[in-house]
Structure 1
Amino acid sequence: MQDRMVRGLVAICTVLCLCLTGCSKKEPATSDKQAPTASTQGNLVPIPIKLPKPMFVGTPTNFEGVQDIEPPLGKARPPFLAPSGVTNVALGKPVTSSTTEPIIGKLSMITDGDKEASDASLVELDPFLQHVTIDLQQPHQIYAILVWHYHKQPRVYFDVVVQVADDQDFITNVRTLFNNDRDNSSGLGVGTDRHYVETNEGKLIDAKGVIARYVRLYSKGNNANDQNHYLEVEVYGRPVP
């Protein structure tokens, strides 16, 4: 009789322990490939952007035939925050393009640090869909990409697509960070981003700490002509240890 009571108590205790274990809160699994967050990146500071001189006052919004244009902010762009030590890692890095020989300028001028709206700073590519690719020469954690196409006059460039990848042919681990090709006419997927007017502030794209070696930017002419232009591209990040 006593043995039965002992065995019964042991069975009850076992069931209670199993119930308590099953009810305990489980922490979510983490992955080494999980995107970094602000809380894991330490102190955040404004990235050191130096803007070129503005060439016109105000931002026109009426561009015939161009739909869904991003409205003017009406004030200076707020500082973009990133971890301390982030710099323009594209400065002086090699550039290649679907246009082998630019019509105006040299491809190296796209990462030379000069983004002023002068003819001496301008790189003009062939018409229709073209791209430029920047080799950061090693993987970097990228927080922001800035592009200046042309800001001597207010213009809207079409089918602006920004991608990053692990290889120069953009086959491995390709990620699209910006795409305003609404009808997929460039064959890179349907974009959801808006058209925007070129200004001296450039277009800032939040890369959210993505890790990549190569940065590629597409465009397909503009509201004034079919040509593609670049003054400067900056990539703010830091090398991956």
Structure 2
Amino acid sequence: MKISCSVFGERRGRVYLTLALPLFGLSLVSCSVAADPPAPAGGLAPVTINFPQPGFKGTPKDIPTNSFTEPYPDKPPKPVMAPAGLKNIASGAKLSSSDKNATADTLAKIVDGDKDASEQSIIYLRKGPQWVQMDFGSVQEIYAAVIWHAHNAGKIYRAVAVQVADDPDFIENVRTIFNNDQNNVAGLGVGTDREYFETQYGKQIDCKGVKARYMRFYSKGSTESALNEYTEIEVYGRPTQLSSASGK
């Protein structure tokens, strides 16, 4: 018996076929096989992150086995899906910090594009809970943030949290985007996100289009140092329609 198969159409990501069975006369049977999934709806595209070279080789000697720590990453994270055409709005933000010893020139290194693991690429804030704040100048739609503390070793940073607000004092409309502070040392509440190993991939956070003008990044040292280290922070977003219309 000879079976012939021909493609006659494609619909909703599946290819439809017709089978002719000449031995038994004319008999048509429809079937389908899976095709490639359709492109993401709504004009979404992956937020492309340029990762630096690894700062160390191998894996850390002591890898926690508790469920509160993410597995050690061996590949880049899955990209955040967001509207196409977003920009790194962190590069134009006004920076401040809870560490008053951190000068404007020091903080500027966090958004200078240098993500290398070298000593000159890292800034150091004092011991204890500290934060870095960004003022974007107007309300932005924020879709993704990536934090590189210091990826010169596979350390774990403590009490990492990200918040946004409508005012510089973080009183009005404060929202928590990420919080793995399991001991509430920063006073933001006990976090439910997991701790993670610092690598060249940093920490990518899906901000889901939250609207805010101000953004804070918290931490409290790491498994290797009580100091708070930062190499680079990128924030991907765009002005809201209201901000664009008002020119702010």
Structures share a fold, TM > 0.5? yes
Structure 1 residue aligned with 2:25: none
User: TM-score, normalization: structure 2?
Assistant: 0.76
Letter in 2 for 1:183: N
The Cα shift of 1:64 comes to 6.8
The C-alpha deviation readout for 1:164-214, integer Å capped at 9, x for no partner, is: 111111011100011111122221101011110101111001101100011
Secondary structure of 1:217's counterpart equals strand
Measured in 2, the distance between the counterparts of 1:130 and 1:56 equals 26
Equivalent pairs counted in the alignment come to 201
Question: Structure 2: 5+ residue runs without aligned partners?
Answer: 1-39, 242-248
Letter in 1 for 2:134: I
Relative to 1, partners in 2 of residues 1:66 and 1:233: Cα closer, same or farther, differing over 3 Å? farther
The Cα shift of 1:102 comes to 2.9
Measured in 1, the distance between the counterparts of 2:82 and 2:61 equals 31
Judge which range, 74-83 or 137-146, deviates more: 74-83
Structure 2 residue aligned with 1:219: 219
Relative to 1, partners in 2 of residues 1:48 and 1:65: Cα closer, same or farther, differing over 3 Å? closer
Structure 2 residue aligned with 1:100: 100
Measured in 2, the distance between the counterparts of 1:183 and 1:162 equals 16
1:188 to 2:172 alignment? no
1:68 to 2:106 alignment? no
The Cα shift of 1:76 comes to 2.6
Structure 1 residue aligned with 2:135: 135
The C-alpha deviation readout for 1:68-107, integer Å capped at 9, x for no partner, is: 210024323223221111111111322100111239x701
Relative to 1, partners in 2 of residues 1:43 and 1:168: Cα closer, same or farther, differing over 3 Å? same
Letter in 2 for 1:189: G
Measured in 2, the distance between the counterparts of 1:144 and 1:61 equals 31
Relative to 1, partners in 2 of residues 1:65 and 1:229: Cα closer, same or farther, differing over 3 Å? farther
> Is the 1:61–1:69 contact (alpha carbons within 8 Å) kept by the matching residues of 2?
no
Letter in 1 for 2:208: K
Structure 2 residue aligned with 1:201: 201
User: Counterparts in 2 of 1:46-57, with a 5 A limit?
Assistant: 46-57=46-57
User: 1 or 2, which has the higher strand percentage?
Assistant: 2
Structure 1 residue aligned with 2:149: 149
The Cα shift of 1:57 comes to 3.0
Structure 2 residue aligned with 1:9: none
Q: Percent identity?
A: 48
The Cα shift of 1:66 comes to 8.0
Secondary structure of 1:107's counterpart equals helix
Structure 2 residue aligned with 1:44: 44
> Is the 1:52–1:115 contact (alpha carbons within 8 Å) kept by the matching residues of 2?
yes
Could you say which structure has the larger radius of gyration? 1
User: Counterparts in 2 of 1:159-170, with a 5 A limit?
Assistant: 159-170=159-170
User: 1 or 2, which has the higher helix percentage?
Assistant: 1
Structure 1 residue aligned with 2:19: none
User: TM-score, normalization: structure 1?
Assistant: 0.78
